[in-house]
Amino acid sequence: MTAPRNTSKIAVRMRLACLVAGWGMLLPAAAAVTPCSAPLAVDPPGMHAFVERLLSHMTVREKIGQLTILGKDAQHLDTRIRKGETGGTNGVLPDTDVLAYTRRLQQLAMQSRLKIPLWFMGDVNHGFRTIFPVPLALAATWDTNLVQRVHRAAAQEATAVGVDWTFSPMVDITRDPRWGRVVEGAGEDPYLGSAMARAQVRGFEGCNLASADTMMATAKHFAGYGAAEAGRDYNSANIPAYQLRETYLPPFHAAVKAGVASVMPSLTTLNGIPATADHALIEGVLRRRWSFRGVVVSDYDAVPELVEHGVAATPGDAARMALEAGVDIDLHSGTYLRELPDLARTGKVPMNVLDDAVRRVLEAKYRLGLFTDPFRYDSPARARRVIRSAAHVALARQAADESMVLLKNTHGVLPLDRRARIAVIGPLARDRVTMLGQMPAAGRAQEVVPILDGIREAARDPSGIGYAEGVPVRGGSDAGIERAVQLARHAQVAVLVLGENIDMFGEGLSRSHIGLPGRQRQLARAVIATGTPTVVVLISGRPLAIPWLATHADALLEAWVPGDEAGHAVADILFGAVNPSGKLPMTFPRDVGQVPIHYAHQHTGRPFDDSSPLALHYSTHYVDVPNTPLYPFGYGLSYTRFRFSGIAVQPSTLTVEGSLHIRVRIRNTGQRRGSDVVQLYVHQQVASRSPPVRLLKGFRRVTLDPGSSRVVTFTLHAADLAFDRADGSWGTEPGAFDVYVGDDSTATLHARFTLVSH
């Protein structure tokens, strides 16, 4: 069977169908991503007939091959491809000529009996060759349009060399910074997380999934992976049903509404059931309740791990359980390929279950346009044009600029004078590999601009920029501290570049201590003790507990893991070429003992009360640290100042069918042009389930010149106030609500409205 070419009628019908497909996205009150229809909304003409005809010609072995993704490390991979025994390959990115690899393997697939094209997967989660800030940093921009553009650029680069499917975005909500994969998500809040999920999906998949420069996205890890007990990766998650529905599921639902083409279940257990075998979660919630029409792919080797979980006795049992739960594709392990043929032959796996999974896989490949042209994603000319293009590098710098969060700036020590003598100190100032972050796809360390280089390039006199490592990130000697101290004493300002390196965040890299590792705190103490004004630049893949630095440093800049343009972006902020505008997507604790800590906590029957010793004793508190975080969710400073005023809610009563508008004026009262994020929080005063103290319900980035102001309007509908009620149903309850507007989760500007049932 020969795959049709681009000139076929099928190709024309597919392109037209994808252009008109879809439903509109439900956008937050934040800046909206570019609206377009979802790729899965309307079936391309001719798809079902084509797929059914192909399915009728397939052997059981060929069907199971389509449900199998093997890594490039698989034995006899070339032979299996020629036999039609694998649907695609993963892990194609590191240390690979990706274009040559994907083309060669696709040519092998065209030698198979049915010539079903392969698809190629890679972890493209914050850039392909041009590396952008890590996802947690991108969330700190609170800029959905920017995030969409970042992932659009990543898709353009990856698809030019044949990668047509990414296992991103990770949309897990987490409130525990010990967890290593905090760096891959959008933080603690389901509203912000949902907005970022939509933006990432739309960036990867665009408005037309069959376009040669868009790729399938994957929402992972469904569901609750970010609530791993003790913050330890791969650990179990136990989440009450109401928290699952209100906090952990919304970003996945948002991704599905945005048209995400695939979903990956968590490889861990949720309430005692491994997600890979959770029929109620995959078939019940994802497919039936949410009407998800894409493919479900297991996590890496998650199918055989059902045996390790203790719910399957044999690999055969594991394969049967996963397939019947709704997992279409076995990633990497080959368990489906080894076990399903006998299970199908003996009837232990019904043929209709097998066919349903194969049908979803073939439909996904059809939507990608692979049957029209198996080589549509291989384009050397496009690769030369888009990979690390000037526009993409500039976008990486803008994203890094917007992601950095100014946490402290005592006496306006920042921005720095470009003529100043600066001592750049710290183990991460020259680090290139860490700046790439986790899973850097095809990124190259030699293309990273180190922070030291960026500062020297931006300074008027590079010879006035001294450098000392001081101490390594972890362990080692502190012999270099004296050299750092001497350098600081002879400088006008010291810039300490401290934090975590690449071995301390990401998958499998959880931490029980989330302060500065190694002897970096001793280095900071020694440098600050010189009396030289000291700016700390933090490099981290998670919120850190740094109360000593917060007290003693003159300025503190959270730079996260900034990507290729790290040095340029840090210099932009330090010297004032860019006014910082990032806001925290996660709460910063004072101490790891406060973890998990998040802004949307519930009131207790004995809330904190320090009005008297007796009242304090019988209220919720610690005896050794305040309840409050070091820095709250949504927090971030600027080189200018903003004032909020004139909050108004119209009308003051909201009906179930109606809407209301919250208006507030924001004014730039400082001396510089700057951007702020206006944040809307809502609190229900009385409900059948104890309500959170406040919940984010809208945000908008606003840029203002000095002295100028703008009225920002948010619209609320009754559905925005729905929650999991005490009887287990989802909906609203009438009553009084508080509204808070400001630029972090401690906003005090306040108004009220009432929700009525008629």
For the segment 242-286, what is each residue's pLDDT rounded down to a tens digit?
Answer: 999 999 999 999 999 999 999 999 999 999 999 999 999 999 999
Q: Is the CB of residue 442 less than 8 Å from the CB of residue 535?
A: no
Q: Is the CB of residue 239 less than 8 Å from the CB of residue 271?
A: yes
Assess whether pLDDT exceeds 80 at residue 507.
yes
pLDDT band at 14 (very low <50, low <70, confident <90, very high): very low
Exposure string (b/e) for 405-440, b if CB count within 10 Å is 16 or more? Answer: bbbbbeeeebbbebebbbbbbbbbbebbebbbbbbb
DSSP 594-622: G-S--TTPBP-SS----SSHHHHHTSS--
For the segment 41-78, what is each residue's pLDDT rounded down to a tens digit?
Answer: 888 999 999 999 999 999 999 999 999 999 988 999 99
pTM of the model: 0.94
Same fold flag, 9-382 and 642-755 = no
State how far the Cα of 136 lies from the Cα of 395, in Å rounded to an integer: 17
Assess whether pLDDT exceeds 80 at residue 206.
yes
The amino acid present at 472, given as its one-letter code, is P
Task: Give the list of residues 6+ apart from residue 12 with CB closer than 8 angstroms, or none.
Answer: none
User: Pairing state of beta strands 273-274 and 269-270?
Assistant: antiparallel
Residue the block writes with tokens 């009225």: 711
State how far the Cα of 237 lies from the Cα of 225, in Å rounded to an integer: 7
Cis before 692 (ω within 30): no
Query: What is 404-574's CATH number?
Result: 3.40.50.1700
State how far the Cα of 480 lies from the Cα of 477, in Å rounded to an integer: 7
State how far the Cα of 677 lies from the Cα of 747, in Å rounded to an integer: 12
How far from each other are the two terminal CA atoms of the chain, in whole angstroms?
62
pLDDT at site 42: 81
Task: Give the list of residues 6+ apart from residue 736 with CB closer than 8 angstroms, or none.
Answer: 684, 685, 686, 752, 753, 754
User: Which is nearest to 256 in space by CA: 309, 314, 295, 301?
Assistant: 295
User: Which is nearest to 142 in space by CA: 693, 589, 680?
Assistant: 680
Task: Give the list of residues 6+ apart from residue 740 with CB closer than 8 angstroms, or none.
Answer: 680, 681, 682, 683, 694, 747, 748, 749, 750
For the segment 618-654, what is each residue's pLDDT rounded down to a tens digit?
Answer: 999 999 999 999 999 999 999 999 999 999 999 999 9
Alpha helices in 459-546 (DSSP H): 481-489, 520-528
pLDDT at site 34: 55
- Give me the residue spans of the domains in the chain: 9-382, 404-574, 642-755
pLDDT at site 744: 98
Tell me the three state secondary structure of residue 109.
helix
Segment 344-358 shows an average pLDDT of 97
User: Which is nearest to 678 in space by CA: 670, 669, 693, 667?
Assistant: 667
CA 499 to chain CA mean position, Å: 21
pLDDT at site 150: 98
Assess whether pLDDT exceeds 70 at residue 13.
no
Entry field: residues in the chain: 758
Here the tokens at position 25 are 């996205």
pLDDT band at 35 (very low <50, low <70, confident <90, very high): low
Active site (catalytic) residues: 299
Task: Give the list of residues 6+ apart from residue 308 with CB closer than 8 angstroms, or none.
Answer: none
Q: How many other β-carbons are positioned within 10 Å of the β-carbon of residue 348?
A: 15
CA 628 to chain CA mean position, Å: 26
3-state secondary structure 233-253: CCCCECCCHHHHHHHHCHHHH
For the segment 180-189, what is each residue's pLDDT rounded down to a tens digit?
Answer: 999 999 999 9
Here the tokens at position 596 are 């998990």
State how far the Cα of 619 lies from the Cα of 548, in Å rounded to an integer: 27
pLDDT at site 725: 96
pLDDT at site 561: 98
Cis before 45 (ω within 30): no
| Mean pLDDT score across all residues of the chain | 93
State how far the Cα of 746 lies from the Cα of 749, in Å rounded to an integer: 9
CATH pick for 642-755 out of 3.10.20.90, 3.40.50.970, 2.40.30.330, 2.60.40.10 = 2.60.40.10
Assess whether pLDDT exceeds 50 at residue 20.
no
Is the torsion defined by CA of 585, 588, 592, 594 positive or negative? negative
Query: What is 9-382's CATH number?
Result: 3.20.20.300
pLDDT at site 424: 98
DSSP 404-417: -EEEEEGGG--SPP
The conformation of residue 74, written as its DSSP 8-state character, comes to -
Strands in 709-717's sheet, in edge-to-edge order, are 642-650, 659-668, 709-717
User: Pairing state of beta strands 273-274 and 465-468?
Assistant: unpaired
User: Which is nearest to 209 in space by CA: 450, 382, 39, 342?
Assistant: 39
Q: Which H/E stretch holds residue 543?
A: none
Here the tokens at position 537 are 């630049």
Task: Determine whether 324 is exposed, middle or buried from the number of CB atoms within 10 Å of its CB (0-12, 13-18, 19+).
Answer: middle
pLDDT at site 374: 96
Q: Is the CB of residue 646 less than 8 Å from the CB of residue 665?
A: yes
Strands in 555-558's sheet, in edge-to-edge order, are 405-409, 555-558, 534-539, 493-499, 422-425, 465-468
User: Which is nearest to 403 in space by CA: 656, 583, 175?
Assistant: 583
CA distances from 168 to 144, 481, 517, 586, 641 (A): 16, 41, 29, 20, 37
Segment 135-155 shows an average pLDDT of 98
